[in-house]
Amino acid sequence: MAAGKSPVLGLAQVAVSRFLISIRRSPGADSNRMRGGFPILFALSLTAATGANGADLLEIYRLAQGSDSQYAAARAAWSAGQEKLPQGLAGLLPSASVTAFSQYNDRDLRFRTPAIPPNNTRFNSNSISLSLSQPLYRPQNLAAYGQARTQVEQTDAVFAQAAQDLILRVAQAYFDILLAQDTVEFTHAQLVAIGRQLEQAKRNFEVGTATITDTHEAQSRYDITVSTEIAARNDLEIKKRQLELIIGRPAPGVAALGVRFELRLPEPNSMDRWVAEAADHNLQVRASRANLEFASQEIERNRAAHRPTLDAFASYSETGAGSGIQGGPGTDNTSKVVGLQLAVPIYQGGLTSSRVREAVANEDKARQELESARRSAELAARQTFLSVTNGLAQVRALEAALVSSQSSLDSTRLGQEVGVRTQVDVLNAQQQLLQTRRDLAQAKYNYILALLRLKSSAGQLTDQDLAVANSWLGK
C-alpha cells in the first residue's frame, strides 16, 4: 500500500467504479435511481470516512516537534544563545590560573683565563605559581553582561517564533491535505454523476428522444472531469510530500472535520485591541526590540573604552633551583604579591571614537527595523482579523448556497423530466453543487488557519489553540 493512502478511500473508489460499470452494462436500469443523487451521496459518504480514523492535528504536530529540521535548528540555536549569559558574566568574576614548570640544566662553563679550570654543572629548576585577578571597575565588561542578557531575551523570542511557525506550518500542511482529498472526492463524485448522465444521453439518443448533441456534451464533460481528477490526485500526492517534509516520515491518513466544528468570533472581537496586542507582543517585534536594546548597549560598551579600569590581583609562587656553581648551594624562593592595577587609556589612534560612531549608526538601523516589524505586525493583525470575520461570514454564506445548489439540482432534474430543462442544464447544476461543496470545505479550512494566524500575529499562539482546532476533527 502506498504511504499515506487510506484503504477506505480505495474501497470507496472500487465501489463507485463497480456501480458505474453496472449502470453501463444495464441499459434498462431503474430511471429513478439514475436520476437520483445516490451515486454522489454514496461516493461522498464513503470517502468522507477516509479520515475518520486517521492521525489528528495534535498527533501530526507531535511528530513534527521531534522530526522537523527547521524547528530542530531553531532549538539548537536557542541552546547556543543561552550560553551568552555565562559568557557575559565571566567578565565580572575573578579569574585564576596556575603555572608550573620543571627543567633540567646542563651547563658547561669555560673561562678564558687558563688559571681557572672549566666548570660543568648539572641541576634542576622548578617553579609553581598561582595568580588571581578580580575586576573592580571595568565598565566595558559590565555593559557586555547587559548585552548578554539582552541576547538571551532575543534568542527566547526567536525560538518562540519558530515554535509558532511550526504550528502554522503543520496546520497549513494538514488542511492542504484535507482540501486536496476533498477535491479528489468531489471530482470523483462529479465524474460519477457525469458518467450517469452520459449513459442516459446515449440511451435517449438510441430511442430517439434526444439529439446526438446531448451525448457529445456529456462526453466532453466526462473527459474533462477525468483530466481534472488526475490533476487533483497528483496535487494530493504533492500535499502529502509537503507534510512528509515536516514530519520526516510517510504522511499518515488524516482525520477530517467533524460535526463538532463551530464558528466563533475572535475573542476579543475588536480589531483595534488585536492590533495593539500585535504592536506590543508580536514575537518579531519582541526580537527587534531586543535587537535595539542590544545596539544601545553596544554604544555604551564602546564609550566605556575611554574610561580607566581597576583590577585587584594576587599571586603566590615557589621556585627552586640547584646551584649553578660546582659545589655551591641550591636556592629556594617563595614570593607573595597583592596589589591593585590601574590602567588609563589615553590615545588609541581614534579607534574607540570610530567604534562609537559605528554603534550609533547601528542603533538607528535597529530602531528603523523595530518600526518596520511593528508596522508589519499591525498589518498582519488587521488582515488576519478580517480573514477570521470574513471567513466566518463566507462559511455561513456557502452553507446557504449549498442548500440552494441542492434545490437547484433537484429542480433542474425535475425540469428535465418534464422537458423544460436540457441535459446541459443538469450537468451545470451538478457541477455547481459539487463546486459549492468544495468551496465550503476550503472556506472552513481557511477560517481555522486564520484563527491560528491571528493568535500568532499577537504572539499568543500556543499548543492549546491547536488543541481547540483538533477538537473539531473526527466524528
40, with CB counted inside 10 A (0-12, 13-18, 19+), is buried
What does the pLDDT average to over 73-94? 96
- Mean pLDDT (the chain) is 86
Among 198-212, 242-256, 368-382, 458-472, the range scoring the smallest mean pLDDT is 198-212
The helix (H) or strand (E) run that includes residue 107 is strand 95-109
- Quote the CA–CA distance of 395 and 443 in Å, as a whole number: 6
Nearest to 454 by CA among 395, 377, 402: 377
Q: 136 phi and psi, to 5 degrees? A: -100, -40
Q: Please give the pLDDT value at position 39.
A: 38
Helices 38-48 and 423-457, packing angle to 10 deg? 20
Say which residues have a Cβ less than 8 Å from residue 204's Cβ, sequence separation at least 6: 210, 214
E-strand ranges in 286-381 read 309-321, 331-343
- Quote the CA–CA distance of 145 and 97 in Å, as a whole number: 22
Among 4-13, 231-240, 426-435, the range scoring the smallest mean pLDDT is 4-13
Helices 283-303 and 271-281, packing angle to 10 deg? 30
Site of grid cell 560612531: 357
What does the pLDDT average to over 176-203? 89
- Quote the CA–CA distance of 192 and 151 in Å, as a whole number: 61
Cα angle: 16, vertex 20, 21; to 5 degrees: 115
What does the pLDDT average to over 344-350? 92
Q: What is the residue type of 309?
A: T
Q: 447 pLDDT exceeds 70?
A: yes
Cβ atoms of residues 316 and 335 within 8 Å: yes
Confidence grade of residue 357 (pLDDT, cut at 50, 70, 90) = very high
pLDDT in tens, 371-407: 999 999 999 999 999 999 999 999 999 999 999 999 9
What the block records as the C-alpha cell of 4 is: 499515506
Q: Please give the pLDDT value at position 22.
A: 41
Site of grid cell 615557589: 318
pTM of the model: 0.80
Nearest to 200 by CA among 427, 435, 433: 427
Question: How many residues does the structure list for the chain?
Answer: 475
What does the pLDDT average to over 355-359? 96
pLDDT-above-90 percentage for the chain: 65
pLDDT in tens, 120-173: 778 888 999 999 999 999 999 999 999 999 999 999 999 999 999 999 999 999
3-state helix, strand, coil in the chain (%, to 5): 65, 15, 20
Q: 214 pLDDT exceeds 80?
A: no
What the block records as the C-alpha cell of 153 is: 531575551
Q: What is the residue type of 100?
A: A
Q: 365 pLDDT exceeds 70?
A: yes
Cβ atoms of residues 48 and 181 within 8 Å: no
Nearest to 374 by CA among 463, 461, 292: 292
pLDDT in tens, 8-45: 344 344 344 443 434 333 333 333 333 333 333 333 33
Confidence grade of residue 110 (pLDDT, cut at 50, 70, 90) = confident
Among 6-15, 247-256, 295-304, the range scoring the smallest mean pLDDT is 6-15
Q: 180 pLDDT exceeds 70?
A: yes
Give SS3 for 474.
coil
- Quote the CA–CA distance of 294 and 146 in Å, as a whole number: 8
Site of grid cell 523595530: 370
Q: Please give the pLDDT value at position 342.
A: 95
- Chain-centroid distance of CA 219 in Å reads 46
- Quote the CA–CA distance of 454 and 266 in Å, as a whole number: 9
Confidence grade of residue 53 (pLDDT, cut at 50, 70, 90) = low
What does the pLDDT average to over 198-207? 82
Confidence grade of residue 325 (pLDDT, cut at 50, 70, 90) = low
What does the pLDDT average to over 354-361? 96
Nearest to 468 by CA among 235, 255, 262, 287: 262
- 72/20: higher pLDDT: 72
pLDDT-above-70 percentage for the chain: 87
Q: Please give the pLDDT value at position 359.
A: 96
pLDDT in tens, 253-294: 999 998 889 899 999 999 999 999 999 999 999 999 999 999
Q: Please give the pLDDT value at position 428.
A: 85
What the block records as the C-alpha cell of 282 is: 508580536
Confidence grade of residue 6 (pLDDT, cut at 50, 70, 90) = very low
